[in-house]
Amino acid sequence: MGSTSDKISGMANEAMGNVKQGIGKATGNDRLRAEGKVQEIKGEGQQTLGKAKDAVKDAVDRTP
């Protein structure tokens, strides 16, 4: 996966995780809240991976 697709997938997972957490909280569903938290963390990791790929690419591009 490229850096952009990692970041997009990460944002989507993070957003869906937040939605799940909100629904779980509103309905008192602890399992849904936990699933949402896991998905949010996964999304944050994907975004970090995308940023790291960008940083490596930039460093390689600057190397003579």
Q: What angle do CA 53, 62, 54 make, to 5 degrees?
A: 15
For 27, residues 6+ apart whose C-beta sits below 8 A from its C-beta are none
Report mean pLDDT in 10-residue bins for the chain, 64 residues. Answer: 91 97 98 98 96 93 85
Q: HSE (CB half, 13 Å, CA atoms) of 10?
A: 16
User: Which residue's structure tokens are 């995780």?
Assistant: 17
